[in-house]
Chain A
Amino acid sequence: MSETRSDIPASLLALRRLQALRARYPMSSRILGRLGLSLLLLFASSVLIFCGIEALPGDFASTYLGQAATPQAVANIRAELGLDEPMVSRYLAWAGGILQGDFGTSWASGQVIADQLWSRMGNSLLLAGCAAVIAVPLAVGLGLVAVLYRDRWPDKLINMVSLAAVSLPEFFVAYLLILWLVVQTPLAVFPATVYDSMSLIEKLHTIALPVATLVLVVIAHMMRMTRAAILSLLSQAYMETAALKGLGAWRIILRHAMPNALAPIINVVALNLAYLIVGVVVVEVVFVYPGMGQYMVDAVTVRDLPVVQGCGLVFAAIYILLNMTADILSIFANPRLRHPR
Chain B
Amino acid sequence: MKQTLKTIPVSAWVGILGITVCVLGALLAPWVAPYDPNVVLGAPWAERSAEFPLGLDNLGRDLLSRLIWGARMTLFVAVVATLLAFTLGVVLSLVAAVMRGLVDVGLSRLNDLLMSIPTLIFALIVLSALPQTLGVLIVVMAVLDATRVFRLGRALAMDLVAMEFVEAARLRGERTLWIVFREVLPNALTPLLAEFGLRLAFAVLFISTLSFLGLGIQPPTPDWGGMVKDNKDGIIFGVSAALVPGMAIAVLTVSINLVVDWLLKRTSSLKGGRGDG
Contact = CB atoms under 8 A, between A and B. Distances in A.
A311 B243 CA distance: 30
Contact of B125 (A278, A308, A319): A308
Contacts of A304: 128
Interface stretch (A132-140, A170-178, A192-200, A257-265): A170-178
A41 B120 contact: no
B257 A53 contact: no
B84 interface: no
Contacts, number: 155
A235 B277 contact: yes
A281 interface: yes
B129 A305 contact: yes
A53 B254 contact: no
Report which residue of B121, B236, B253, B276 has the largest number of chain A beta carbons within 10 angstroms of its beta carbon.
Answer: B121
Given A58-B131, A301-B214, A312 B124 contact: yes
Interface string B207-232: 01100111100000000010010001
Contacts of B214: 297, 301
A53 to B, nearest CB: 5
A185 interface: no
Interface in A291-341: 296-297, 299-301, 303-305, 308-309, 311-312, 315-316, 319-320, 323
Contact of A297 (B124, B256, B261, B273): B124
Interface residues of A, number: 57
* Interface footprint category on B: 35 or more
A300 B124 contact: yes
- Overall SS of chain A's interface: helix
Contacts of B129: 53, 56-58, 303, 305
A283 B212 CA distance: 11
A56 B261 contact: no
A183 interface: yes
Contacts of A179: 235, 238, 240, 243
Interface in B83-136: 112-113, 116-122, 124-131
17 contacts: A44-B113, A56-B130, A58-B130, A163-B258, A169-B225, A170-B209, A172-B247, A176-B243, A178-B235, A179-B240, A231-B276, A231-B277, A297-B215, A303-B129, A304-B128, A305-B129, A319-B121
Interface of B: 112-113, 116-122, 124-131, 201, 205, 208-209, 212-215, 225, 228, 232, 235-238, 240, 242-243, 246-247, 249-250, 253-254, 256-258, 261, 273-274, 276-277
